[in-house]
Each structure stands twice: as C-alpha cells, then as structure tokens.
Structure 1
C-alpha cells in the first residue's frame, strides 16, 4: 500500500487536503470519487531513500493511472518565447531538444539517459551546457519541471507548466510532443508575418533614406539659391527649410535624445505597470487589438484542448492554458474563470465574463461540447478554425498596408518636392 497526498474540492466547493492509502493511483482516485471529492492534486508520498528513483519514473512519461497535475507556477507567463533567450540557447535548439526528448521517452528510454543522448547530439555549446545542467539536476533527484524552472531564460513558464503536468500525470512524452508542435506552429506564424512585412519594411527604409538625403543635401542648395535672390519663400517651403536646418544643426542631439527616450520606454514597458498599460492600449487599437485577442483565444483553446485530451483535469488545464495568452490583461480576465469552475460552473458559462477574448458563438460551441463530452475535440477544432481565419485576416491587413505605405511615402516626398518647386516659378519676378 502506498500513501497519497491529495488536494480536492468538496461538493460545497471548499478545498480540502489530506492523505489516503491505496494500492495505486487508480484506486486512490476511486476512493476520492466515493467520498465525493473532485481531485485537484494527487501525489504519492515518497521516502527520501527512493526520491531519486521516483523522479526518474515520473520523468519517463509512462506512469499509470488517471493523470493529475501538480500545482502550476502561480506567476503568469509571457508567451512561448522569453526575452533574452536567443543570446544563450537558440529557439531551434530548444525545439529540437523538445521533439527529440519526446521521441526518446516514447521509445522507452529513461529520462536520464535521454538527456545524456541529447547533450551529445546538440552542436550548440550553450545548449550542450544547459542540457548537462538539466541532466545533473534530474539525476540528483529533482523533477524535470523543477530543473527547467531554474532556467527561465531558456524554458518559458508555459513550457515548464506543461512539463509539470505531463511529468506528474505520466504522459510526459505526449506533452513534450505537443510543446514541440506549438513551437513549430508559432515559429511558422512568425515567419509568415515577417515575410509579409518584409516588403513594406524595405519601402519604409528606402523612403526614410530618400527623405534624409533631401533634407540634408538637396534642400540646402535650394536655400542658398533663394537667399541669393532675396526671394520671399512660401510657408510650406519655410517649414521644409527650417526642418532641414534643425536636422543639420542638431541631428546628433536629436538622435541621442531619441535613443534615450527609447531606452526609457523599454524599461517602462518591462515593468509590470508599464506592461499592463501598454497591453491594454494595444487591445484598444481597432484592427490590431482584435487580431491579438483572436490569436490569444486560438492559443488558449489549442493548449486547453490538448491538455484535456491528455487527461489533465480541467482546473489544472485552465491554469496552464491561461499562461499561453501572453497579454497580461487577457490572463487576468481568464483568472476569474478558474474560480467559477472550482465553484461548479461550466466552462462556457464561466468564460462569459471575457467577451473581448471569447465571442458569443465560441461560448455556445464550448457549452454544447461540454454537454456532449467532446470538449477537448471542440477546443482544438475552434483553434484550427480561428488560426485559419487569423491567417486570412493577417494577409488582408498586410495587403492593405502596402498601398497605404506607398501612399504616405509618396505624400512625404511629394510634399517636399512641391514645397521646393513652388518658389522656382516666382524666381523670374525677382530676376526681372
């Protein structure tokens, strides 16, 4: 008989903790169900002498019984790709690590041996050092999720939370495969977005270069010509000439001030208050805010559906999935949903307080899926449909952005040209 520590919900909604003895996890779950308890956490209490062996068994991804999940980190995550990771372990190395580790665990390779294999296979020095650090911590008895949590610059919080869910529930190989799919899908979407913005970005760079050339080299020649004739310049020409003088006289100072303001803005943006303010502002932007909310909903539904399909309890799945939203305003909005689900409400009804993130039609589909027992399948289907629609909207937005940028570029250059040409027609009056 083994001793299990549990945390569960009573029928009245109160959270209780305790211990029970059972022959396995399945029997422990049956005992909890017979007492009317809804499991939140179920962990086998291990003795110090076998702590290392138990950590290896959990990390193997082949535990038996109904899956449960240990408590996920309480701090909200900021998305899949943490800031600063590229200078240490590149995203490609992390994706390869995740996918290969999932394959090795599915083949029955022990976790410690799989980590040694991955350490030898990688060609990136920083990744090799990091995988060795993870291996040493796991061999010393630490769980894989706890070892990864020590390197937040490499493993995002959502990543660690999903690993913890799979490690505790005995389906680590499945969760790692899903994480690799998430990474590949997000990488593909970012690549599409960057490719779509490449042409407008080149146009904007060329326009700024032409504008700088006109203001620094071309306009001063016209200014000297007009001054020689004592001509009275139109107000548009005077504004252009004054702008050129400011750039030539204080260009370096303007650049330094601009860089300083940029650094200050970045520091403010990293702070919790600044981040919340900025993310709230972005959500209010007419087109961009809707795209971000739709993207967050797709990520949330896909991750929650994947976790539910793997056997993670709904409450724990919500705690992990809400960290995938990225936007802190949306994370806070979904946080209230978890409390309502704990009280016994359905998921669809609990999400009605997030109209910005979940439209009414999506809530109805979720509610119907709950009643039919196909919530995991419906959430993944909603994610697929939403991502396809989001891809079409992004293509349309980028297609509209290109002619708009061309229009503004032509307007800037045309304004300068007109402002400098108008006085030429009046020079003949001063020549006479």
Structure 2
C-alpha cells in the first residue's frame, strides 16, 4: 500500500487536504471521488511515522514535502516510442472516449495495456499530468520528441471544441495515411537504393584498384587521354591519397547540414526550398491546405469562435513558411475583414478557386461545411497525385543510376579505342 496526499474541493467549494492509503494512483483517485470531493492534486508521499496536522475534513494532512507529478512519473520514460505504438495509442484512446469511458479511466487502461516499457512509462506520465489538472495537449507538449506540434495542435483543437474523440480518430487516420505513404515510397526506392549502393561499391573498387593499372598502360603509350578519363584518373588519385580525409570532411559537412536544418533559420530555408520544388512543393502545400481546412471546418462546426479556430488550425499546417502566411491572414480577420479576402494573398496555400469557394460559403453561412468538403475533395485528389509521384520516382532513380554507371563505363572504354588508333 502507498500513501497519497491529496488536495481537493468540497461540494461547497472549500479547499481541503488530506492523506489516504491506496494500492495505486487510480484507486486513490476513486477514494477521493468517493468522498464527494473534486481532486485538484494527488501526490504519492513517503510512508512515515511523523505527526500530521488534521485537514479541513478531519483527515490528517501530511507534513512531508510533495513531489510534482512529472518528476514522479518521468523516470524511465525517455525511451523511443515507435510510430505504430503512437498510432495504436491514439486510435484506442479515441475509441474509449467515444464509448463513454471516463477520460482518466481511459488513460489508466492505455497504461495497463501497453507492452513496451517506454510507452508504459510515457502513458503513465500523461495520465498523471492530466489528473494533476493539466490539459491533455499541454501534457503531450512536454514530450515533443513523441508528440509532434501538429499532433498537439489537433488535440488542443479537440479539447477546445469538445470533440476530442473525433480529433483523435482523425489523427490516427493521418498517421495511418502517412505510414502508408512512407511504405510506398520506401518500396519504390528499395531497388534503386540497392543499385546505388552497388554502384558506389563498384566505383570505389575502380578508383582504388582498377583505374591505376589502366593509368600505367596509358603512360606507356604517351597518349593524350580524353578529358573524361583524365577526370576519372584524378578522382582515383584523390581517393587513394586523401580518402580518409575526404571521408572525415564529408562526415563534418553532413553533421553541419543536419545541425543547420534543425535550427529555426535552416528549417525555414529548407521548407521554403521544398515549396519551390516542382511537383513536390505543390503537393505539400495541398496537403497542408487540406489539413488546415479540415481542422478549421471541424472547429467552426463545433461552435468555436473564428479567431480561436484560426489560431489552432494554423498550427496544424506543419510548414513554418505557410504558418507565417496564415498568421498574417489571421491579423486581417481580427481587423474585421472576411476570411476569404484575408486568405487571398496566400496563393501558394490557397489557389484562386479555393478562395472563391470559401468566399461564397462565408457569404451563405455554411463555411464549416464547405471547408470540410474542400478537405475531403483535396485529400482524394492528393492520394491520386501521390500515387503518380511515387510511380514516377522509381524509373527516375533508375535512369539517374544508369546514367551514372554509363558515364563511368564510357570514361573507361573510350581510351581503349583511342589507344588502338594510336598503335595503328
């Protein structure tokens, strides 16, 4: 048995504190609620024999120092949690809430059913923070390595509108869709990636062992080598003489680029570049627009004020460049301008036809329905375009690898014909 110190509100609104013994946190919560109190804080305390002053309700209060929930529950929760585990957590929590299971009890069930140690510790941490009075979105925001900003923003939207179970189901669908997309891309790139690794291995073998022997033959004939062959020989000399230094320099460059990409300035620059890439940029912008429209439509349909809905929905976009653009539009809405006209300057995110549909829906009073319809239509079109891009990516990779290997082959074979002419 463990001893818990609680702080709760009595039915008349008077704050009370006390101690109780329970086998676990869930049982302690049930005991507090059984007394007719509304728990505000529940903290496990060390058992001791010290004297305790009585609380307002006659239960002895503890003199021990309480420990915050997050310090008690964060131990051992730093392990990685797989995307599949997070998706299962999201979908199961949505199902439990939709079935009418109380929120605290649903989190207890998820913690009990978890099989991975890291997930078990993290779900307990989330439960303890929520029981301590923290919103679910705020509790998840404490673990950004597990719950991305988009995830937290959507959970906040569900809490704001009172439809958390619906939003969690949407998050699980998004996660499943993204996992399916990653699987398709990885499957399409598997064969080209194997060819690329093999071609790099062949290239290193040629540069280190094979080309130097050709170089001796060329020197014996005092023949002028083609420019391409000279470049290959120079690369061979560089790899043999400075291979270790080149490898170390490449590692430093990769580490520096990775650090820069994770910085705010580097992330903005990269996201701006990706948006300008043909086919890929418009695809990402369309995905962000669909997510923004679905979130905003769901919030407005639940009666959330438009400014609050816009502030939550913009965080679900994911791309900071587009988030900044929508933030400017929100400022225009605050000034009293219509939503359609405020979003019009963001042509990358909202094409002209979409702006017209939003404007007409806003004038007719069915903005929430139109936004949800736009999101559904855009997502269907997005699925078709993604299939096209993935189908186009595999032959493109194969062509680039074939061109790479063919260039090396030509650089090796062409001097042989030149030598034959020289001998004649």
CA RMSD of aligned residues (A): 2.8
2: CA distance between counterparts of 1:168 and 1:424?
Answer: 74
Partner of 1:356: 348
1:22-421 matches, within 5 Å, as 53=38, 88-421=80-413
Query: How far did residue 134 of structure 1 move?
Result: 1.5
Moved more, 257-266 or 131-140: 131-140
Separation in 2 of the partners of 1:384 and 1:206?
43
Find the residue that maps to 2:218 and give its secondary structure. helix
Moved over 6 A (4+): none
> Which structure ranks higher in relative contact order (CA pairs < 8 Å, sequence separation ≥ 6)?
1
**Does structure 1 conserve the Cα–Cα contact (< 8 Å) formed by 2:161 and 2:299?**
no
Instruction: Give the greater-gyration-radius structure (CA).
Output: 2
The CA deviation string for residues 338-369 of structure 1, in whole angstroms up to 9 with x for no partner, is 12222332221111020111000011111222
1:205–1:230: structure 2 CA closer, same or farther, 3 Å change rule?
same
CA contact (8 A) 2:289 2:350 kept: yes
Change (3 A) 1:418 1:161: closer
Q: Distance in 2 between matches of 1:118 and 1:201?
A: 39
Contact 1:200 1:401 in 2 (8 A): no
Name stretches of at least 5 consecutive residues in structure 2 with no aligned partner.
Answer: 1-12, 17-32, 42-76
CA distance in 2, matches of 1:138, 1:385: 36
Is contact 2:91–2:168 with CA below 8 Å preserved after alignment?
yes
Q: Provide closer, same or farther for how the CA distance between residues 321 and 195 of structure 1 changes in structure 2, counting only shifts above 3 A.
A: farther
CA deviations on 1:11-40 (whole Å, 9 max, x unpaired) are xxxxxxxxxxxxxxxxxxxxxxxxxxxxxx
TM-score norm. by structure 1 comes to: 0.75
SS at match of 2:337: coil
Deviation at 1:94, TM superposition (A): 1.6
Rounded to whole Å, the distance in 2 between the matches of 1:286 and 1:215 is 35
Gaps of 5+ in 1: 1-45, 57-84
CA contact (8 A) 1:215 1:244 kept: yes
Alignment check: 8 A CA contact 1:55 1:142 kept: no
